[in-house]
């Protein structure tokens, strides 16, 4: 299932204590991958090498997610500045068909465990693209009302700035259309969006409340 490992990171790991842990992670559970990634992140040399290797491996991702992780389409998520633990978890799910998307499954299943880590770290290292005042003003909804929804329903997991460290998706800097469609899919439990916690949280939101929430998220 997995392709050839990244030459850059592989060569460096061959002389490091991480070599055995990473080399034997085929196939790896998500917990082992997350632990490997944390070890790499704790070492500046390994981290920098992984980011470089991830940039090279992510070339095929640029068609949809953009050169630096800023999506080329409003309904496709930005990956720049995303939580690396969340990115790795989602790519692992695509690799093992726990999430189904024809293009993503085909692309991700060709990556080795090391490459999944490298790509996650590359995108996480890219800067967020803050929305301009004009872009925010063009979005429907009321940010003040959206903040009340966010504080009541979202803050505990996603944090006050939309970038909590608990492993959940970071919402700051995300595409508005993608956020709205994702919330609607969670609410309606369709298109694979059947996470029970999210379904319970957003299940009672109206279209107006979702619009307000998305408008507020544009201020983060």
The model's pLDDT over 162-205, given as tens digits with 9 standing for 90+, comes to 988 777 889 988 999 999 999 998 898 776 555 788 888 888 99
Residue among 168, 205, 172 nearest 186 (CA): 205
104 found inside a domain: yes
Residues 110 and 206 grouped into a single domain: no
In a shared domain, residues 80 and 144: no
Proportion of the chain above pLDDT 70, given as a percent: 81
Q: Tell me the HSE value of 199 on the side-chain side, using a 13 A CA sphere.
A: 9
- pLDDT above 90: percentage of residues in the chain: 56
Please state, in angstroms and rounded to a whole number, the distance separating the CA atoms of residues 17 and 45: 13
**The domain spanning residue 41 has which CATH number?**
1.10.760.10
Lowest mean pLDDT among 28-32, 94-98, 128-132, 166-170: 128-132
Q: How many domains does the chain have?
A: 2
Own/partner contacts of 102-105, CB < 8 Å, gap of 24 or more, are 103/64
pTM score: 0.78
């Amino acid at each position: 299932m997995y392709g050839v490992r990244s030459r850059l990171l592989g060569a460096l790991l061959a002389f490091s204590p991480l070599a055995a842990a990473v080399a034997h992670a085929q196939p790896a559970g998500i917990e082992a991958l997350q632990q490997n990634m944390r070890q790499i992140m704790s070492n500046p040399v390994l981290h920098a090498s992984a980011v470089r290797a991830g940039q090279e491996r992510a070339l095929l991702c640029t068609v949809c997610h953009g050169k630096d992780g800023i999506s080329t389409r409003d309904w496709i998520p930005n990956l720049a500045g995303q939580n690396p633990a969340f990115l790795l978890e989602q790519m692992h799910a695509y690799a093992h068909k726990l999430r189904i998307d024809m293009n993503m499954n085909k692309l991700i299943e060709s990556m080795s465990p090391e490459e999944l880590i490298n790509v996650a770290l590359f995108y996480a290292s890219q800067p967020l693209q803050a929305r301009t005042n004009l872009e925010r003003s063009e979005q429907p909804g009321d940010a003040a009302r959206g903040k009340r929804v966010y504080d009541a329903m979202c803050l505990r997991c996603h944090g006050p700035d939309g970038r909590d460290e608990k492993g959940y998706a970071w919402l700051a800097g995300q595409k508005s259309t993608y956020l709205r469609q994702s919330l609607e899919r969670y609410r309606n439990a369709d298109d694979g969006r059947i996470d029970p916690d999210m379904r319970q949280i957003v299940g009672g939101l109206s279209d107006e409340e979702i619009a307000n929430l998305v408008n507020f998220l544009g201020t983060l």
